[in-house]
Structure 1
Amino acid sequence: MTAFARFDQQETWGQICWELRSVNHRYLDICIRLPDDCRRLEIKIREHIQQYLKRGKVDCTLYFQMNQNENVKLHINKTLAQQLCEATEEINKITGSSDLPNALDILRWPGVLETETVDVNTISETIIMVFQKALEQLIGHREREGAQLAGFIEQRCVAILDQVREISNELPMILQAQRERLETRLTELVEVNSERLEQEMIVLAQKMDIAEELDRIKTHIVEIRKILSENKVVGRRLDFLVQELHREANTLGAKSNHINTSHHAIELKVLIEQMREQTQNIE
């Protein structure tokens, strides 16, 4: 969801420029910066973003520059200028001063000197139109990044299934090694009782039975691939499945009593964590 877009447009009365930035976030967090005269457009712009984006922290900034026209007329707010003069006289009476503000001091006061401006109502449609073009650029960047992330996640899916396959292939060998180890220990203590040995092996096999966890991991991978193929919002669903994958890997590691299985469980956790970091970037 990391992306940047900039789109500007020149009009007869000035220039509009929109800059949009998007970074990773679990939810949709919108920050809009507008000139004071354009504040009334914030709600409409926010609603516009919500139609297209569902996740990410999105910063939107509007740069608004009026053309410098030599024929622009300056207007003096005579009422405000008169009030400033009267206020100065009142202050002088209190302080006993006789200083009066000069003309430049009064002209520098905010609001005394006014220039002709463009009515925002007449250009609001243009502002929204330019924003839409910038938003399309941002969405395009996010979609390209999303495609790359989907490829990254697919690579991790393949690696996870490879680990599951290796565990499944090694499991009979591990059980046989455990049987031989248990038989040796029992031989050292007492005469081997085949019935007792089988009972112990059944208990051991039950404790080491990780087939259910391996099946669930494979099922989650199938669902992740299915979600990635859908053309809609998938980020939160992927978050949930990755959490489930992590839970199965933890259970597998807890059940393991062989070094090979423990190594595979650790590798699974590394791959799942890499996947988790990237699913947070997908809308």
Structure 2
Amino acid sequence: MIKLILSDLDETLLNDDGTIHPDNITAVQKFVQQGGYFVPNTGRSYKSVFGTLATLGLNRQEKQYVVSYNGGAIVEVHSDGSEKIVAQHGMSLNLAKEIFKLGQIQNDIDTHIYTLDTLFIHNISSADQAYMSERSVPYVEMPNDDLNFLSHEKPIMKVIFEHTDHEVLRAIDKAVNQELADQVLTTYSSDRYVEFNPKGSDKGSTGLELADLLGITHNEVAALGDSLNDASQIKAAGVGVAVANAKPEIKAIANLILDKTNNEGAVAEFINTHLEG
């Protein structure tokens, strides 16, 4: 019996425009009312998920959880609006500086640096501005490429690069991994980002860390996703689920491939059709 659902957000739970299909809202509420945990497992900051929790009605739970930054942190959110960092897996400032430097392979590289509570963006592109706006993701634009200010910020969770040309993303991947392969975990997401977390931090390991904290066995965990940064949770969960619009690589490793896309209520299909009880 599935007791914990770990769900990616963009292109999985959310429609392409950042809204949530009404069927997903109803199904998630039913699952939670029956005693299950529905936990966003996302590359984003946990603060950017608060609106999603409210839309799903999960902000009314006494305790609700979010796994953020591709496994960089587990956050416990309370119904009174307070929050508690349950676990964090960040990187050093020196490592972030190295990743940042190596990724600047041309002048139009858009770079995100996530700390525990803030998203900083350097050289944001117009396409990325639109993407952030559609999903109501808060961020702070960096005035220059000097990262020393981060020594006064909360721990750094990950560094990612945005570009709409996949060849550019692959070139960044190659440049970073030629120097730092033993220190970073590389993933791709949303057809526009290449992401770098510290080695050992991913959606799968941190999702199972949450299951352990909740006393839920790993075979009672389901994970839903669409993109390459979801691979670790798809592999780790008792049931790995690919939405219909998932990348071929994700479908290849999933236990279950849904008939519906993110725009058609794929999460509701899983809850209503494939769960017992």
Q: Which has the higher helix share?
A: 1
Of structures 1 and 2, the larger Rg is shown by: 1
Q: Which has the higher strand share?
A: 2
Q: Is the shorter-chain TM-score for this pair beyond 0.5, marking a shared fold?
A: no
TM tier relative to shorter chain: under 0.3
